């Protein structure tokens, strides 16, 4: 079932901004062009809940498009302020029936999905999805497909992930629907995985032994410029069906990018030693340990840096206008990203992507537990603080605030998760004080939020089973009561052994956590 959309101009979007940052979609070159009958054109976005899609959608709305999104789990749209202002089709790109519904009466289709870290068969999955989308778009006579691919050199062996993106682009170009493939390299912006790699490697390591690819030339591009090109691509002439490279004005070595970041962050220049022994696999382990980016995402990013990735030509200038004021230099892009991080105004993040192999099913209700083995740990604490004060502490948990008990044990658990390829505690959270369904908080994912009452987290750390953590605030007398419940559904013998192995630590962790959260709420209470 589709819900109608309404254009939003100057709306408040995710991140708490009262105004969209550039591009806003209201620039003359980017505003939607009405159909011949005067109605607003319709844009379909695949990957709307991802890093770029989550930024593109509000700008399409601002530009005057009717926006439709295809999502596996419509409930995830609640994490976005624009979630109620788009048409929603439930399904996936590889689902032919869902795609047939999604492409109906669509003027421009944005293809912003790929299987980063999606398992060994990601190439097959990506190709199947591209073929399904291509067939559906051609059948429905979609006016334009816009695909964001990867910048790559010609005539060399590419990494599997980069090769897959090239294959997807070629499939869409042969669909019969006019297609423009924008091939971008390293995207620099607050919350991007590439920026987080540069940022944390530079912040953490004063001296860095690095793979030899730190000497390769690459052409980074600011996320605002990528969004500009995506919006402008909707206006390309119908006969255009080709791939073009896009990039920023600077061609740099990766080591220069790190030291450029260091200058903007007020850090000393980093000494970098290029070592030939660090393979992409070894380097991804190393990145996994010192940055929040997990190995499943770090490895394809690193593998794509094995070759120099710079623009072969500037044909894009013949098709699309440049942004107002020109393309953003690398260091300016870093400055803008750091400003967003410091202001707690990151729109979207790589963290928003679901961790592969983690189930999306919500916590079963208690009656459904009958006949299933489940372990629980329940804690409560009362406080003189109001429910509102307690709730503020609950929604600020994780990230910089930590977990209010046994920081060492939490850190150990985070490092254990990183060592086996999990996300660990370094992932943090996108916003320090706001939370919505779908947000990542360290190695948890927000599954449900009942404002002022309940925060439910689903574990995304590597465990032999399924785990949830519920935090509740309830009025009680003149104060409130804090209730905490950990729920674990073990898988096989390993799951049972895991629970009993960590059980001795629960007294330190969960009991202390409940008491300290209640105490923190009292500290927030105004003094009289």
Tens of pLDDT, residues 124-150:
889 999 999 999 999 999 999 999 999
- The angle subtended at Cα 45 by Cα 58 and Cα 188, nearest 5°, is 65
184-238: pLDDT as tens digits: 999 999 888 888 888 888 887 777 666 777 788 899 999 999 999 999 999 999 9
Percentage, residues of the chain above pLDDT 90: 47
Model pTM? Answer: 0.75
Q: What is the pLDDT of residue 517?
A: 93
Q: What is the pLDDT of residue 11?
A: 34
Highest mean pLDDT among 169-178, 447-456, 463-472: 169-178
Residue 276 has pLDDT above 70, yes or no: no
How is 180-238 classified by DSSP, letter by letter? Answer: EEEEE--EESTT-HHHHHHHHHHHH-SEEEEEGGGGSEE--EEHHHHHHHHHHHTTS-T
Residue 265: helix, strand or coil by DSSP? coil
Residue 110 has pLDDT above 90, yes or no: yes
292-325: pLDDT as tens digits: 676 777 777 777 777 788 999 899 999 999 999 9
User: Measured between alpha carbons, how far is 363 from 458 in angstroms, rounded to an integer?
Assistant: 8
Averaged pLDDT for residues 267-292: 72
461-502: pLDDT as tens digits: 888 888 899 999 999 989 999 999 998 888 878 888 888 888
Evaluated on CA atoms 311, 313, 317, 319, the torsion sign reads: negative
Among residues 100, 71, 76, 99, which one has the least CA distance to residue 87? 71
Residue 56 vs residue 523, higher pLDDT: 56
Residue 363 vs residue 169, higher pLDDT: 169
| CA distance between the termini of the chain | 53
The whole-chain average pLDDT of the chain stands at: 85
Q: What structural domains and CATH numbers belong to the chain?
A: 42-352 (3.40.50.720), 371-524 (3.30.530.20)
User: Measured between alpha carbons, how far is 208 from 204 in angstroms, rounded to an integer?
Assistant: 9
């Amino acid at each position: 079932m589709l819900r109608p959309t309404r254009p939003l101009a100057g709306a408040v979007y995710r991140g708490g901004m009262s105004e969209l940052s550039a591009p806003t979609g209201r620039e003359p070159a980017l505003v939607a062009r009405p159909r011949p009958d005067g109605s607003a054109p319709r844009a379909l976005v695949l990957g709307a809940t991802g890093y770029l899609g989550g930024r593109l959608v509000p700008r399409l709305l601002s530009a005057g498009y009717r926006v439709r999104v295809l999502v596996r789990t419509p409930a995830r749209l609640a994490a976005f302020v624009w979630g109620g202002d788009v048409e929603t089709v439930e399904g996936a790109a590889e689902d032919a029936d869902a795609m047939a519904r999604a492409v109906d009466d669509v003027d421009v289709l944005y293809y912003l999905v790929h299987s980063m870290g999606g398992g060994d068969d990601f190439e097959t999955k990506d190709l199947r999805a591209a073929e399904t989308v291509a067939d559906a778009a051609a059948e429905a006579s979609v006016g334009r497909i816009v695909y964001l691919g990867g910048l790559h050199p010609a005539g060399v062996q590419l990494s599997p992930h980069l090769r897959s993106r090239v294959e997807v682009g070629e499939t869409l170009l042969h669909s019969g629907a006019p297609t423009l493939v924008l091939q971008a390299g390293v995207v620099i912006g607050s919350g991007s995985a590439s920026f987080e790699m540069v940022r944390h490697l530079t912040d953490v390591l004063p001296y860095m032994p690095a793979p030899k690819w730190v000497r390769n030339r690459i052409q980074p591009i600011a996320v605002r410029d990528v969004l500009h090109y995506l919006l402008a691509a909707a206006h390309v002439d119908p006969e255009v069906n080709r791939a073009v490279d896009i990039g920023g004005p600077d061609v740099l070595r990766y080591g220069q990018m790190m030291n450029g970041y260091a200058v903007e962050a007020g850090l000393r220049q980093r000494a970098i030693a290029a070592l030939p022994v660090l393979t992409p696999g070894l380097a991804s382990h190393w990145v996994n340990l010192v940055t929040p980016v997990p190995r499943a995402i770090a490895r394809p990013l690193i593998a794509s840096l094995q070759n120099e990735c710079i623009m072969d030509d500037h044909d894009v200038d013949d098709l699309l206008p440049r942004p107002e004021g020109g393309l953003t230099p690398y260091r300016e892009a870093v400055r803008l990203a750091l400003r967003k991080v410091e202001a707690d105004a990151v729109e979207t993040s790589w963290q928003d992507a679901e961790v592969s192999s983690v189930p999306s099913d919500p916590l079963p209700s208690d009656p459904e537990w009958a006949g299933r083995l489940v372990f629980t740990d329940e804690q409560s604490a009362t406080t003189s603080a109001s429910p509102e004060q307690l709730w503020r502490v609950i929604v600020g948990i994780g990230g910089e605030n930590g977990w209010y008990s046994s920081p060492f044990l939490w850190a150990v658990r985070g490092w254990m998760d990183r060592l086996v390829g999990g996300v660990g505690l370094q992932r943090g959270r996108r916003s320090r004080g706001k939370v919505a369904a779908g947000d990542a908080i360290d190695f948890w994912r927000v599954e449900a939020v009942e404002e002022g009452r309940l925060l439910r987290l689903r574990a995304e750390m590597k465990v032999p089973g399924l785990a949830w953590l519920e935090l509740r605030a309830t009025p009680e007398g003149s104060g409130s009561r804090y209730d905490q419940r950990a729920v674990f559904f073990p898988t096989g013998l390993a799951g049972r052994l895991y629970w009993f192995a960590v059980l001795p630590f629960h007294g330190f962790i969960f009991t202390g956590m409940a008491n300290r959260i209640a105490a923190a709420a009292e500290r927030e209470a105004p003094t009289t």
